[in-house]
Amino acid sequence: MNNLTWYFIEFNLIIAALYIGLLILKNFIDFKIQRAILFASPLVLLGLLLFKTTEVAHSFIVQLPVVNVGEAGATVAIESISNTWGWLSLWNIYWLGVVIAGVLLIIRTAKVFLFFLNHNFEKVGNLKVYAVEDVPSFSFFRYIQITPNIDAEQRDIILEHEMLHNKKSHSLEIILFELFHVFTWFNPAVYFAKRYLVDLHEYEVDQQLYTKYNVNYMQFLLAYSLGTSSNTYLLTNQFYNVLTLKKRIKKMKTKTKNYKGLILMFPILLLTLGMVQCTEEKVEIVEEEIVDIPEVEPSYPGGEAAMAQFIGDNIKYPAIDVENGVSGIAYTQLVINKDGSVDQVKVVRGVSETIDAEAKRVVELMDDWTPGQQDGKAVAVRYVLPINFQLSEEN
């Protein structure tokens, strides 16, 4: 698994840890600060993970054909890396998920816009206010739907509620977090963080209106809930949601927290920074530039068949792995220098300590290659050579 994959997994694990920490400490932190943490954390972490290494750009390295070897001088064969299931890689599955999540987001967004395009509205300042029958109250940017057939006082409260959502750019925050979720679709923590963000929006607006109207606002919210069903338009700020009503009443009566609650986040932040530091890999300083995809690739004397034969003649299947039935592919990274010599050999994804050591030993024994070229000049080229240690059926 290459560096980029590990960093991506690490990024998602830390996001999950931060979200869990926020849930634990949410009663000590102001709603506005909680929103800021939800948005700032992914950006800061992504910056740290990209900044800590210079090897991310080398995650896409040309892979040589797989060389199959047996445990007792078996015939060596070169196996192409492409196969029927080649498309079914982790990254391909990930990008397929991104496409599906992106399409679903577009459909949901289009559904909201089509609702507003297909109905009449009333201009209230720079806002467009709708009153469509049998549709609960909600807002999306400057578009506000208010349940019809309610008295003027109730209508004014709902309008003020939704105007606060618009003023605080809550719809924009939802869209941005939805886009973030598209690229982290497999991470359940992001899904729950997105739902918690919607709750935070309601808590924040409710608290502000409760401060203004006091008990009257709470009574109105309860009365309104008796004849209203849950909103079916996603991506919107919903005035009423039966699942969050009890929480909203409790939260609006809660006094605003002070900033001292942020102090409690420091241990969690230190823990996440420690996770970033622990996964940092040492980067070898190389004097000459290394090219991953040259114009003219290096070539082994005699070609790939001769290279496979050399490996078969020199490699020894570790006895302990034969005894324990251990097999697998040792992905061995190497650099072919300007003079054709083999350098910087290391196993980037291994099988066992003994198999990895054997693969590294044999690759280091290779004869000099014909170096690769870029712009007519010899250049150092990085390769990955998969060596497949394969036991016979008897073993």
The answer to whether the beta carbons of residues 314 and 68 sit under 8 Å apart is no
Beta bridge partners of 291: 381
Q: Is the same domain home to 160 and 306?
A: no
Q: Is the same domain home to 176 and 271?
A: no
Q: d(Cα 367, Cα 216) in Å, to the nearest integer?
A: 86
DSSP state of 231: P
Residue 70 lies in a domain: no
Placement of tokens 């409710």 in the chain: 206
Identify the CA nearest to 268 among candidates 33, 5, 41, 93.
41
The answer to whether the beta carbons of residues 31 and 204 sit under 8 Å apart is yes
Q: Is the same domain home to 30 and 119?
A: no
Q: Is the same domain home to 350 and 311?
A: yes
Residue 56 lies in a domain: no
Placement of tokens 């029958």 in the chain: 133
Instruction: Please enumerate in sequence order all residues whose Cβ is within 8 A of that of 52, keeping only pairs 6 or more positions apart, or say none.
Output: 276, 277, 280
**Cα 178 → chain centroid:** 12
Q: Is the same domain home to 6 and 104?
A: no
Q: Is 373 exposed, middle or buried (0-12, 13-18, 19+ CB in 10 A)?
A: middle
For residues 42-74, b (16+ Cβ closer than 10 Å) or e, as one string? beebeebbeebbeeeebbebeebbbbbbbbeee
Q: Is the same domain home to 197 and 100?
A: yes
Residue 380 lies in a domain: yes
pTM of the entire predicted model = 0.58
Number of domains in the chain: 3
Q: Is the same domain home to 294 and 155?
A: no
Q: Is the same domain home to 142 and 188?
A: yes
Domain of 347, CATH number, reads 3.30.2420
Q: Is the same domain home to 32 and 181?
A: no
Residue 204 lies in a domain: yes
Q: Is the same domain home to 241 and 268?
A: no
Q: Is the same domain home to 358 and 226?
A: no
Domain boundary among 231, 252, 273: 252
Residue 77 lies in a domain: no
Residue 71 lies in a domain: no
Residue 66 lies in a domain: no
* 372 Rama sector, left if φ>0, alpha if ψ -120 to 50, beta otherwise: beta
Q: Is the same domain home to 90 and 236?
A: yes
Range of the domain at 20: 1-51+260-283
Residue 57 lies in a domain: no
Structure tokens that stand for 125 in this block: 């300042």
Q: What is the pLDDT along the chain (395 residues), one digit of tens a residue?
A: 445 566 677 777 778 877 887 788 777 778 888 888 888 777 776 676 666 544 444 444 555 666 776 665 444 455 544 443 444 467 788 899 999 999 999 999 999 999 999 999 999 989 999 999 888 888 999 999 988 887 888 788 888 888 999 999 999 999 999 999 999 898 888 888 888 888 888 888 888 887 777 766 766 665 565 454 444 555 566 654 544 555 665 665 565 555 555 555 556 555 665 655 555 444 444 445 787 778 888 889 988 888 888 888 888 888 898 888 888 888 899 999 999 999 999 998 888 999 999 999 999 999 899 998 988 889 998 888 888 888 776 65
